[in-house]
Amino acid sequence: MRIALLGGTGDVGEGLALRWGRDTDHELLVGSRDPEKARDAAESYAAAVADAGGEADLKGFANGMAADRADVVVLSVPPYHVADTVESVADVLDGEDVVVTPAAGMKRDDDGFHYHPPSAGSVTALVREAVPDPIPVVGAFHNLAAGRLADLDADLGVDTLVLGDDADAKGTVSRLAEEIDGLRALDAGGLANAAEVESVTPLLVNVATNNEGMHDLGVRFL
């Protein structure tokens, strides 16, 4: 399968590229607005995977080119960039593609981090509004600490919650998630349930901040 990581030079994109690069044979297309930056990142990720004993199929492209070639398009960009990133690639998406959104809206104040969704109700809902209608959107990978994901020496042993209204697309993304060693995919229902999933991201930061020895936290349901 061909997976595009738009904004793949950022930390979540890096983590997913390294994990899929080491643990699967998928063709990984690192996207960036700057194709030179994307190529540099792809080269550096491939070297990190090789250091970990793997062999990754990783190449860098401009976001539009990566999206055009991919079957699954991951919007690994900050929440305030999801709408314009989708707009920049909307022409090359087709009904066979699946768009995946891992972003959660947060704001920080003196007390800690708080869930701060866009007016659509969640970042996932914002992506659903931005992506042309027949193309399925799936929410996943929201609650993974980027630093732990990108550290190939770190065991994951955590869950990721998958949201979607299209069962086939949700199944595809769940399988991709479970191909990552130590990651379990759980179904959290339809896109309308996204706010409760995205809210876990600021919660993880608050728990890490307030408990000694805890950092790069994930969550497990049991």
Give CA–CA dist 4/69, Å, rounded.
8
At 16, the amino acid letter reads L
Assess 154 for contact with a copy of itself (CB under 8 A).
Answer: no
Give CA–CA dist 37/45, Å, rounded.
12
User: What is the Cα Rg of the chain in Å?
Assistant: 16
Tell the smallest beta-carbon distance from residue 83 to a copy of itself (Å): 23
Assess 196 for contact with a copy of itself (CB under 8 A).
Answer: yes
The encoded tokens of residue 118 equal 């866009």
Q: How far from 83 is each of 92, 105, 130, 186, CA to CA, in Å? A: 15, 13, 6, 26
Assess 171 for contact with a copy of itself (CB under 8 A).
Answer: no
Assess 197 for contact with a copy of itself (CB under 8 A).
Answer: yes
Assess 11 for contact with a copy of itself (CB under 8 A).
Answer: no
Count the Cβ atoms, other than its own, within 10 Å of residue 133: 8
The β-bridge partners of 183 are 158
Among 158, 169, 176, 180, binds a copy of itself (CB under 8 A): 158
Give CA–CA dist 184/176, Å, rounded.
10
Among 96, 119, 210, 213, binds a copy of itself (CB under 8 A): 210
Assess 47 for contact with a copy of itself (CB under 8 A).
Answer: no
Residue 170 makes CB contacts below 8 A (sequence gap 6+) with 138, 162, 163, 164, 187
Tell the smallest beta-carbon distance from residue 208 to a copy of itself (Å): 8
- Please list every residue from 84 through 123 that binds a copy of itself, using CB under 8 A: 109, 111-115
Tell the smallest beta-carbon distance from residue 173 to a copy of itself (Å): 14
Tell the smallest beta-carbon distance from residue 118 to a copy of itself (Å): 16
Judged by the rule CB under 8 A, the positions of this chain that interact with a copy of itself are: 109, 111-115, 157-158, 161, 186-190, 192-193, 195-197, 199-200, 202-204, 206-207, 209-211, 214, 217-222
